[in-house]
Chains A and B, each alone.
Chain A
Amino acid sequence: MDRVEKSCKNSAGVRQNRALAVWRQFRRNKGAMIGLIITAALILLAVSADFIWDYETDVIGMNIADRMISPGTKYLFGTDNYGRDMLARVGYGARYSLVIGAVSVLFGLFVGVPIGTSAGYLGGRYDTIIMRMIDAFSIVPSILLTILMVTVLGTSLLNLMIALAISTIPIFARITRASVLTVRYNEYIESAKAIGASDFYIITKYIIPNCFSPILVQATLRMGTNIISAAGLSYIGLGVALPTPEWGALLSASKQFIIQAPYLCFFPGLAIMITVMSINLVGDGLRDALDPKLKR
């Protein structure tokens, strides 16, 4: 076991160097850096929203005197039918989309990665059964699966995240299994086995670190998809409900004022687009930085 640990310490050093190399590669990619900066700014906005706006008065409080004011100097994004400042509502909404995106992906990873790893590592009949089940589920479109889950669980923020996570599980399981299969037969796995390392040790110390890149890239890109799906569900009334300023819910409310106040449906959509785009830029940048084929 001594030797296993020693070689592991070495590999930890290698990993650190590799992370540095990936970061250098990533930094050179202009689009990815722009995406990273915007994402960081959005996270900052989401975290500090409570210091900028007071939820009770600015975000959901009504101000009938100022209703339906078009965007201008007083209200940059205009006001809605209750006189609420759309800037405050859209700004505050950042936290919902980011939290939904992040939590649903983390949930999905938490379940999907062990399923995929075990299927790929153990192989045999277990693998066949798991993969058949996942294949079977892929014939129900992911958005439909999410909607069904929300129907069963009931509409709430938490249930929305669970539903999105459940629809994400098959994707992570599949991609993890595929990358486990590419490393499983490598010689270093065999040598770890020969030294007498346990399966659990091999999986956590060798397999998962070596499968990390495709999973990380997929997780990033999936966050964008989940944010869009969540907004869509709120739009049709199966996600987060008003007066919560979730972007999809804001768009849903704006539809009835499409003639008098088209600006109401402009900003929440723009916010979704910018968020998803910057996350996708980060994901693409990560993929390019992590893919050894594109290096040099």
Chain B
Amino acid sequence: MAKYITKRILMIIPIVIFVSFVVYCVMDLVPGDPARTALGDEATEEQLEIYREDHGLNEPIVVRYAHYIGGLLHGDMGKSIYNNEDVWQLYFSKLPYTLLLAVASVILTVITSIPLGILAAVKRNEWVDTGASALSFIGLAMPNFWIGLLLIILFSVHLGWLPSSGAGAGWKSLILPMITCGTGNMAALTRTTRSAMLDVLRQDYLRTARAKGLNEHLVIIRHAFKNAQIPIVTMIGTQCATLVGGALITERVFAWPGIGSYLVDSILKSDYEVVTGFVIMTAVVVSLILLLVDIIYAFMDPRIKAEYARS
């Protein structure tokens, strides 16, 4: 097992190098001159040339990338062109907010969707199932940022219960963004749980479990759900990964001070040093989350653990 984990961690390195190289090259294609952005319109051609020379902007892209990745390994991702802040520090100052939002929203998703999905599968074609299906259809079709706006209108403007932006009011600030991020995920996870459970409920060993007289709750929870966990965990893992790297629009609706809003701000301000760094770090964090999911599989399914041990 330890060997498998080490191997997987080592495998992340080439993937991250490949992705970061592509991102670095792509960001290099963005129209505009970083020297001009940094020094402003009044700078003379000479000053621009000095800036380019100092920052190695005249080197070929492969050399610049090599410098960049060398720096990254030492926790140096350059500085923001806009306010000269250290990109590495910026990332890690925003990461806790994004993680907090992601974890809160995933917990909300799990505690609502899994019971609902199980119930829908067990009571197939009854009103619970129809209701859950209808709700998840609606949830999947609603854009997150629209849900956010509706929640702000109801809870911030009309009722005045919860703040509409920022993270200044403690747990109260977290509630609306958490629900907003969670809606689509709840819909998706309910559907996944339902179909995973339906697959399992058809199996023979469930009939056996019932035949030997186990009570229905035990059959559902211990025998059926335990075997339906793999697709559910896969879905939760994907959702975590997407939340850490992709809650850009929701974070922006609520001015949540996480990675997403800062990244969008940086794109709009053409602060490409920050954009490059943040995207590369997102790739790293997402790979780690996906690795974690693979490790969790092993704890849930001894067959997978055995397979890991073999490889």
Contacts and interface: CB of A to CB of B under 8 A. Distances in A.
Interface of A: 133, 135-137, 139-144, 147-149, 151-152, 154, 224, 228, 231-232, 235-238, 248, 251, 254-255, 258-259, 262, 265-266, 268-269, 272-274, 276-277, 280-281
Contacts of B29: 152
Contact of A273 (B143, B153, B275, B286): B143
Given A135-B15, A142-B246, 13 more contacts: A137-B19, A139-B290, A140-B279, A141-B242, A141-B282, A147-B264, A148-B279, A151-B275, A235-B253, A238-B267, A254-B149, A276-B141, A280-B137
B181 to A, nearest CB: 12
Contact of A269 (B19, B138, B150, B287): B150
Interface string B1-37: 0000000000000010011000100110111000000
B146 A151 contact: no
B39 interface: no
A235 B253 CA distance: 9
B141 to A, nearest CB: 4
A contact face: mostly helix, strand, loop, or mixed: helix
Nearest to A264: B149
Nearest to A31: B137
Contact of B157 (A151, A236, A259): A259
Contacts of B141: 224, 228, 272-274, 276-277, 280
Which residue, B29, B145, B241, has most C-beta atoms of chain A within 10 A?
Answer: B145
In order of increasing CB-CB distance, the 8 nearest A-B pairs are A141-B246, A269-B146, A277-B141, A276-B141, A141-B245, A232-B249, A143-B246, A262-B153
Interface residues of B, number: 42
Contact of B149 (A137, A144, A251): A251
Contacts, number: 123
A236 B153 contact: no
B142 interface: yes
Contact of A140 (B19, B157, B268): B19
Given A235-B249, A262-B157, A269-B150, A144 B282 contact: yes
Which residue, A143, A144, A259, has most C-beta atoms of chain B within 10 A?
Answer: A144
B286 A136 contact: no
Which residue, A136, A149, A236, A273, has most C-beta atoms of chain B within 10 A?
Answer: A236
A273 B157 contact: no
B220 interface: no
Interface in B134-154: 137-138, 140-146, 149-150, 152-153
